[in-house]
Structure 1
Amino acid sequence: MTDLKYAGIDQDKNNGLTHLGRIVRDAWVFGILPETETCKGWDYAKMQNLYEKVYAAWEPYAHLPSRLPEKLQNKHTRIYDQAITTAKEKGWNPELNDED
């Protein structure tokens, strides 16, 4: 498992609407990473370290976007709306089916 490398948010399935993709996007929201960083080639340990930073950044807001200050809320909305729109354009269907 530790030999695996992250493909990068731009190569992740469903336009990065995955667990790892959300970590990267949340890192962008909180300014932990610049929005140009895709994390391509990052190993498990580096992604785990990023997760821990993102988790700590969310803690004051109870991990709820609605509790973010307005500036961060707006950034979160922009980043995720763009991701969802692009994923839908590429054929992603957010509806759950029997296999989900």
Structure 2
Amino acid sequence: MSEQIYSGIDQDMAGGLTPLGRMVIDAWVFGILSEDETCTGWDMSRMQLLYEEVYAAWEPYSHLPSLLPPELRQRHTTLYDQRIAIARESGWDTDLSDES
């Protein structure tokens, strides 16, 4: 059985707005990772460790962006706005209807 490897946020689906991609963005928000770290090639064990760090960073704010202090809230907004723009440029569609 081979270990699963993360493709990295820049190769992730939906411009990185997947659960793993959002975890990388949140790690950037909290300064756990530098913004040039895309986690390309990371195995799932390493991603699990990152998840635990990100989860702990969110705990004081009840995992709600609205409870972040102003500087972190602005960083969160900026980073997610950038990723949403990338996702839209790559064809990401926010329409959740069942009609094609």
- Aligned to 2:3, the other structure's residue is in SS state coil
| Aligned counterparts, 1:17-32, within 5 A | 17-32=17-32
Shift of 1:98: 2.6
Q: Show the 5 A alignment for 1:1-100.
A: 3-98=3-98
TM-score, structure 1 normalization: 0.94
Structure 2 portions without partners, runs of 5+: none
Shift of 1:53: 0.3
CA drift of 1:85 comes to 1.1
| Alignment: residue pair count | 99
Distance in 1 between residues matched to 2:86 and 2:68, nearest whole Å: 24
Residue 97 of structure 1 deviates from its aligned partner by 2.9
Relative distance call for 1:2 and 1:31 in structure 2 (3 A) is farther
Report the residue type matching 2:41 in the other structure: G
The alignment partner of 1:31 has SS state of coil
Equivalent-residue separation in structure 1 for 2:85 and 2:9 (angstroms): 15
SS in 1 for 2:59: helix
Question: How high is the sequence identity, in percent, across the aligned residues?
Answer: 63
C-alpha deviations, 1:49-85, integer Å up to 9, x for none? 0000000000000000000000000000000001001
Structure 1 residue 18: deviation in Å? 0.1
